[in-house]
Structure formats: C-alpha cells, structure tokens
Amino acid sequence: MTSPSPVGPVSTSSVLDLAPVVPVVVVEDASDAVPLARALVAGGLPAIEVTLRTPAGLDAIRAIAGAVPDAVVGAGTVVTPEQVTAAVRAGARFLVSPGWTDALLTAMQASGVPFLPGVSTTSEVVALLERGVREMKFFPAQAAGGTAYLKSLAGPLPRARFCPTGGIGPDNAPEYLSLPNVGCVGGTWMLPADAIAARDWGRVEALARSAAALR
C-alpha cells in the first residue's frame, strides 16, 4: 500500500479505501498526538480519526497535520457547524459525525473536505442518498444491527457505502469487511489505554499492522 499524498484533496471514497481500518483516536494529551500518529502510519493505517470528545482534539489534529505528512488526519464526533469550521481550520482532511441534521450536513457539504455523516436507520440512508451523499458512517454498528443490518441494506440501497464503527474489534471486523457495501471499519482496539498511558508506540504500531492486514 502506498502512502497517501500529503497535499491535495482526498475524496470520500479514497478515505474509505486507504486502509481496512480507521483508528478512532481519543487524545487526552496533545503531546501524544504526533508519536501516536506516526505509529499508526508506520503500521499501515494512514487515515486517522481524531475525535473532538476532549479539549485536546483540535490541538492534536493541528499537530498531526503539521508534523506527520503521511497521515490523513480527520476530525470525528463532529456534531455542530462550528466544529466543522474549527476542525477544517485545524487541518482536518475529512470529517466524521455520529449522526446528522440538516444544519450539520449543510456545513459539512460546504467545508471543502470529504465527510462521513453517521446513520443508523434506512430512512437516514435514503435521505442522504437523496442529497447526493453516498459514503456514510454506520453507527453504533453492533447496537444498530451489525452485519445483518448492512447485508439487508445492500439489496435495496446498493449505492450506499459505509464505514461501520461501534463495537467492532479484530474478531468481528473481517465479517464487516467482507460485505460489498463496507469500505472500511472504525475501531479503537489498536489503541489500548495501557499502551497509550505508557507511551508504548511500538505496541500501537504492531497492533496497527495487524489491523491493516485484515483485508
């Protein structure tokens, strides 16, 4: 797999296709962002979703964007138009939301970067297709029906393509990745809390490499 270019736009489809797994990163200390991102990229996971769940999120995105050119860093847990603006200014190259509203979708469409709005129902998928959005986050994947639900969507809604996230780990990720309407999955299992606390970036890299080999 070649590393993504650090310059130029990234299409939503290419974000889905960069690697089988998108790490969902919750950064408590922004100083961890760069070594963590380097470990993930070295392990073969260049698309990195840094969530905005913590005060360090935007600073982490800014640091990765500036210091890890082979990473395609995105912002996750985007829930307001204001966060869309702040994330893009910080250097986010894609956006991920757990759900969507008309106002949030409008802001993401105007942002100039790819985005994955979250869905968990058929009606939400149809509404996004109606607005020209084909790539989506399926969340919370396991709680919302898992692979059985996604299989059911493939027939009537073949244009929709998903990044399932929520309750996915190395044991069930291959089943998701085998589905024709799944481009990649999101997960955190390559980022165990004890490894982050110990700043054991070698362990993170090894787990990332295993995740990258899932497909």
Give 38's contacts (C-beta < 8 A, 6+ positions apart): 68, 71, 201
Which pair of structure tokens corresponds to residue 176?
């998701």
Q: Are 77 and 52 in contact (CB under 8 A)?
A: yes
**Does an H or E element contain 88, and which?**
helix 81-90
Q: Are 208 and 40 in contact (CB under 8 A)?
A: yes
The closest of 94, 100, 91, 79 to 10, measured between CA atoms, is: 94
Just list the catalytic residues.
49, 137
**Does an H or E element contain 185, and which?**
strand 185-187
The closest of 136, 134, 130, 135 to 99, measured between CA atoms, is: 136
Partnered with residue 75 across adjacent β-strands are: 50, 95
